[in-house]
Amino acid sequence: MMTTTSDTSPRIALVTGATGGIGRATALRLARDGMAVAVHYAGRKAVAEELVEEITAAGGRAVAVGGDIADEAAMTELFDEVERTFGGIDVVVNTAGIMLLSPIAELDLDALDRMHRTNIRGTFVVSQQAARRLRRGGALINFSTSVTRTSFPAYGAYVASKAAVEALTPVLARELRGRDITVNTVAPGPTATPLFLDGKDEQTVAQLAKAAPLERLGQPEDIAEAVAFLAGPARWINGQTLFANGGLA
């Protein structure tokens, strides 16, 4: 069944970080729900264009859009482009983010600044544009991490950047009172994406896979299902952080 803003208008979704594992799965999932999808990329334009081709080959509508999510001018133009192409925006899913791991005592502060720029400022810039642009009935979904609860060593700076996203969520939900727009955050657990697997040996990955009661790593499609729920039927869930982690925490 096609998800619509009215009886005749398909919903329009923007997915940032759509060239990553969770972003790609989310773009495909929302396209299967009947949404037209703007596939955002930061540097991997060819990957984004391949995803657009995959969506359109399956009968969907998609366009590739690029830009630095922490650059307000770039994001203003990106949102303008999506509105010009599809006529509006109903769903913004902000999966874009970076993860640099180190014990706090040893952290290179340049890494902290990089994560702050993308994970906090980038989330804020995208959320600001979404707050200005989303149509009635819309949804904004940002991303945190279940490590804000599990507190794994070496994740301190990353968790600090994501905890800020969780704190932003209920504030923006309340600021959008009266506009019928939901604001939520998804906090995945260990998920089999390049971002998660990079730099981890097989033993570490196996231990993390066993940590959840379901005894496996999450798959990008598992997270995309949570996003599709918040982007579509879950109109009474607002200002929340949803932990999609198989029962890890």
Q: Determine the Cα angle at 13 with ends 12 and 17, to 5°.
A: 155
| 41 part of the active site | no
Residue 1 is assigned to a structural domain of this protein: no
Is 103 buried (19+), middle (13-18) or exposed (0-12) by CB count in 10 A? exposed
Q: For the whole model, what pTM was predicted?
A: 0.92
Is the residue at 248 inside a domain?
Answer: no
Closest CA relative to residue 81, chosen from 181, 14, 8: 14
Phi then psi for residue 29, to 5 deg, are -65, -45
Residue 4 in any domain: the answer is no
Measured distance CA(121)–CA(165) in Å, rounded: 10
The set of residues, in sequence order, having a beta carbon less than 8 Å from that of 83 and lying 6+ positions away, is: 89, 133
What is the reported pLDDT for 116?
97
pLDDT of residue 4: 43
Q: List all residues 6 or more positions away from 201 whose beta carbon is below 8 Å from its beta carbon.
A: none
From the list 86, 155, 158, 243, the catalytic residue is 158
**Which residues, in sequence order, are CB contacts of 126 under 8 Å at separation 6+?**
16, 69, 75, 92, 94, 96, 142
Q: What local confidence, expressed as pLDDT, does residue 198 receive?
A: 73
Which pLDDT does position 6 carry in this prediction? 43
Is residue 83 a part of any domain in this protein?
yes
> What pLDDT is attached to residue 8?
55
pLDDT in tens, the chain (249 residues): 444 444 457 899 999 999 999 999 999 999 999 999 999 999 899 999 999 999 999 999 999 999 999 999 999 999 999 999 999 999 999 999 999 999 999 999 999 999 999 999 999 999 999 999 999 999 999 999 999 999 999 999 999 999 999 999 999 999 999 999 999 999 999 888 877 777 777 888 888 888 889 989 989 999 999 999 999 999 999 999 999 999 986
pLDDT for position 203 = 85
Q: Is residue 231 part of a domain?
A: yes
Residue with tokens 């609860």: 149
Question: How many domains does the chain fold into?
Answer: 1
In a domain, 75, yes or no: yes
Which structure tokens are listed for 53?
């081709």
Q: What is the DSSP letter of 121?
A: I
The parent domain of residue 164 ranges over 12-191+219-243
User: Is residue 78 domain-resident?
Assistant: yes
User: From residue 141, how far is each of 63, 92, 103, 207, 224 by CA, in Å?
Assistant: 20, 6, 29, 29, 11
Helices in the chain by DSSP H: which ranges?
Answer: 21-32, 45-57, 72-86, 109-115, 123-133, 147-150, 156-175, 194-197, 202-211, 220-231
Q: What is the CATH number of the domain that holds 126?
A: 3.40.50.720
207 lies in some domain: no
